[in-house]
Amino acid sequence: MKLSKASVPMKHYKYYLIFMLIACSGAFIWQFVLPDIGGRLTSWGNSRGWQREIALWNIGIISAILTALIKQNIEYMKILTFQLTVLCWVLGTNHLISLLQNFSFKYIIHIAGIFEVMLLGGIWGTVLLFKFNKKSKNPIIYVSNGLLQFIATILLY
């Protein structure tokens, strides 16, 4: 079955959102179910209250992703991709800074945060937003492209 031209972007957004659904579900498990192990594998240590709060934020993100996937709404998917891309860049950068300040290979969650969150989630989301929204009339997407170009400029210089 050949995909229509309009369904090609949706397919790419779905793959990205499914990846982020898996990543956020994993983060929820680390923070809510296995906080002691998660704390040992970062330079931040344990703080059950904060870890539980982070886990609950992940539930909010997971519910938004599931809503976009169930509704099959491309606009929901674009907005969520923008939000998740920004989140990936800032959270991944936070992991990078923490690892550089106190480098150790035992901080596997920081290392995973750099590769999975910042590089895979951040770059993949950025590519999607640039590739499929070059001429968008949606003001949120238009602003998001400008913001991503600004972030990319800062990171590259």
DSSP designation for 135: T
Question: In the numeric block, which tokens belong to residue 139?
Answer: 């003001």
CA-only gyration radius of the chain, Å:
17
Task: Tell me, yes or no, whether 3 lies in a domain.
Answer: no
The pLDDT > 90 percentage for the chain reads 75
Report yes or no on 86 lying in a domain.
Answer: yes
pLDDT in tens, 18-42: 999 999 999 999 999 999 998 999 9
Percent of the chain whose pLDDT exceeds 70: 81
| Pair 31, 54: CB distance under 8 Å | yes
Q: Is 21 within the bounds of a domain? A: yes
- Max intra-chain CA distance, the chain: 52
- Structural domain boundaries, residue 120: 8-156
* Domains: count for the chain: 1
Residue 1: inside a domain: no
pLDDT at 148 > cutoff 70: no
Q: Provide the pLDDT for residue 156.
A: 58
2 part of a folded domain: no
Domain-located, residue 142? yes
The answer to whether the CB of 42 falls within 8 A of the CB of 109 is yes
Instruction: State in Å, rounded, how far the first CA of the chain is from the last one.
Output: 44
